[in-house]
Amino acid sequence: MTTQTAGIKAKHQRLVLVVIALVALIGAALLAIWGLRSQASYFYVPSDIVAARPDPDRGVRLGGMVEKGSLKTEPDGVTIAFVVHDGKARVPVRFKGIVPSLFVEGSGVVAEGKLAANGTFIADNLLAKHDEKYVPREMKEMTEAQAKQVVAETQ
Amino acid sequence: MHGFANPARFLRIARWLMPLLLISGVVLAAGSLAWGLFFAPAEGLQGETVRILYVHVPSAWLGMGGWTAIAVASLVELVWRHPLAGIGARAIAVPGAVFTALCLVTGSLWGRPAWGTWWVWDGRLTSMLVLLFLYFGYAALAQAASGEGQGNSRVPAVFGLVGAVNIPIIHYSVLWWNSLHQPPSISVGKSAMALDFLVPLLIATLGFSLIFGGVVLARMRAILADIQAEARLRRKAGGLA
């Protein structure tokens, strides 16, 4: 009987100790994450760049959406210009080179490069950022109303 | 719960449960992969490369789920001293590491056509790589502890609990920090993924999980057999001396 109560007591004590250790551990992790909140981001959004302009010779990454209708190819055929926005601010970008196949207007992009003194972002590399939506190819080419109809028919 | 503490009882259940899990897992995984690779549609923007999804997502799920299971087993080991908990956690380490590595490899192969890069040091990719290294560390610790008798299984258990901090970091990395990896498509009750992709993906995830469970049971049986053989050898040696 006594050994059994002692066993339950020891178990209880271990449980309390583990819970205290876990609370301390989670607290430490939250502090570290809080401290990292700006450094751990992979890119700046246009509002960050507009709010605090990075040095013209400091390499930074700029991420956001490619503004619809802003993508233009320059006469040399390999240089492109477009605008990256995040709903609040816009940054014009120039890039010379081959773009990833998912790079399209209205989709996400991460540009690596430097912000020139005139406010244009000169990119030396582009990465395409896919969103979390997955849509079948056949549905993508339809209009919204057509897609709804197809869904209604197949259900 | 302590009904299952008896290894003999556990072995009786594992003997028929293990092949059941493995066979049903292989059937489901093979069927859903065939569905995903040959019959599911191509994605609107990504085209055919989206099919990596059906291996990538189940691997990520098992990599993270494996460590969550190690953490739960570690808690049970530390507090209740359940004799099978440490063995279960040890059995998870290698398959967990394999699926984490598979997730990283398929992700890298997918990243090249989709993003234009094999690898970036963003929050999601970095925290997943950290998980792989945690698995290596855990496997090494568990291996070392198994040679030194019962008391030392507490060291890997503490490591298993501490490492669990990385799991929510992996999950929330794409929400807390700007990252190249997109936010989750599937959350409880809703999906930003069309059903054409979601259904084979969920079946593939179930199939891979059943295989994982079967492999863990097989490894637990092997570890128990190892312990028994060693105890028998020790008894024999004692009898001779």
Q: What's CA A10's distance to the chain center, in Å?
A: 48
The answer to whether the annotation marks A42 as part of a ligand binding site is no
Short-list A123, A115, A113, CA closest to A79: A123
Report whether pLDDT(B73) > 50: yes
Do A67 and A89 fall into the same domain? yes
Q: Do A136 and B176 touch (CB under 8 A)?
A: no
Q: Do B180 and A42 touch (CB under 8 A)?
A: yes
Report whether pLDDT(B113) > 70: yes
Do A81 and A30 fall into the same domain? no
Whether residue B149 lies inside any domain: the answer is yes
Report whether pLDDT(A150) > 90: no
Whether residue A17 lies inside any domain: the answer is yes
Q: Which residues of B touch A44 (CB under 8 A)?
A: 178
The answer to whether the annotation marks A12 as part of a ligand binding site is no
What are A125's strand-pairing partners?
A: A112
DSSP states of chain B: -GGGGSHHHHHHHHHHHHHHHHHHHHHHHHHHHHIIIIISPPBTTTBGGGGGHHHHHHHHHHHHHHHHHHHHHHHHHHHH--HHHHHHHHHHHHHHHHHHHHHHHHHHHHHHHHHS-S----HHHHHHHHHHHHHHHHHHHHHHHHTT-GGGGHHHHHHHHHHTTHHHHHHHHHHHS--SSPPPSEETTEESB-HHHHHHHHHHHHHHHHHHHHHHHHHHHHHHHHHHHHHHHHHHHHHH-
pLDDT band at B153 (very low <50, low <70, confident <90, very high): confident
Task: Summarize pLDDT for B182-192 with one digit per residue, the tens.
Answer: 999 988 888 88
Task: Summarize pLDDT for B50-64 with one digit per residue, the tens.
Answer: 999 999 999 999 999
The chain A residue lying nearest B122, using CA atoms, is: A42
Q: Do A139 and B47 touch (CB under 8 A)?
A: no
Summarize the confidence of residues A39-49 as an average pLDDT.
Answer: 88
Q: Which domain holds residue B129?
A: 28-40+50-182+195-240
B175 touches chain A (CB under 8 A): no
Tokens 């290294």 found at: B133
B182 touches chain A (CB under 8 A): yes
Do A64 and A124 fall into the same domain? yes
Residue B4: its pLDDT value, please?
Answer: 55
Q: Which domain holds residue A101?
A: 46-129
The chain A residue lying nearest B120, using CA atoms, is: A42
Take residue B37 and report the two structure tokens written for it. 């690779």
Whether residue A107 lies inside any domain: the answer is yes
Do A32 and A51 fall into the same domain? no
B108 touches chain A (CB under 8 A): no
Predicted complex ipTM: 0.79
Do A28 and A65 fall into the same domain? no
Whether residue B159 lies inside any domain: the answer is yes
Do A35 and A50 fall into the same domain? no
The chain B residue lying nearest A13, using CA atoms, is: B79
For A137, the closest of B47, B161, B173 (CB atoms) is: B47
Distances B43 to A75, A134, A136, B40, B52 between C-alpha atoms, Å: 33, 6, 5, 9, 11
Q: Which residues of B touch A63 (CB under 8 A)?
A: 178, 180
Q: Give the CATH number, domain containing residue A51.
A: 2.40.50.140
Residue B20: its pLDDT value, please?
Answer: 97
Do A50 and A123 fall into the same domain? yes
Whether residue A144 lies inside any domain: the answer is no
Question: How many domains is chain B partitioned into structurally?
Answer: 1
Residue B187: its pLDDT value, please?
Answer: 84
The whole-angstrom separation of Cα B205 and Cα B203 is: 5
- For residue B113, the distance in angstroms to the closest alpha carbon of chain A comes to 7
Whether residue A138 lies inside any domain: the answer is no
Neighbours of B236 (CB within 10 A): 10
Do A66 and A124 fall into the same domain? yes
Kind of pairing, strands A121-129 and A90-96?
A: parallel
Whether residue A10 lies inside any domain: the answer is yes
Whether residue B128 lies inside any domain: the answer is yes
Question: How many domains is chain A partitioned into structurally?
Answer: 2
Do A86 and A120 fall into the same domain? yes
Tell me which of B178, B193, B201, B202 to substitute to probe the interface with A (most A C-beta atoms closer than 10 Å).
B178
Do A114 and A51 fall into the same domain? yes
Whether residue A77 lies inside any domain: the answer is yes
B167 touches chain A (CB under 8 A): no
Residue A34: its pLDDT value, please?
Answer: 83
Do A79 and A18 fall into the same domain? no
Chain A residues whose C-beta is within 8 A of a chain B C-beta are 11, 14-15, 18, 21-22, 25-26, 29, 33, 36-37, 40-45, 63, 99-104, 107, 110, 125-141
Cβ–Cβ under 8 Å, residues B192 and B185: yes
pLDDT band at B234 (very low <50, low <70, confident <90, very high): confident
Identify the burial level of B115 via C-beta atoms within 10 angstroms of its C-beta, where 0-12 means exposed, 13-18 middle and 19 or more buried. buried
Report whether pLDDT(A133) > 70: yes
Whether residue B80 lies inside any domain: the answer is yes
Residue B227: its pLDDT value, please?
Answer: 87
Task: Summarize pLDDT for A52-85 with one digit per residue, the tens.
Answer: 888 888 899 999 999 999 999 988 888 999 999 9
Q: Which of A21-35, B24-38, B136-150, B193-207 has the lowest mean pLDDT?
A: B136-150
Do A57 and A5 fall into the same domain? no
Whether residue B11 lies inside any domain: the answer is no
Q: B 65-84 residues with CB below 8 A of A? A: 75, 78-80
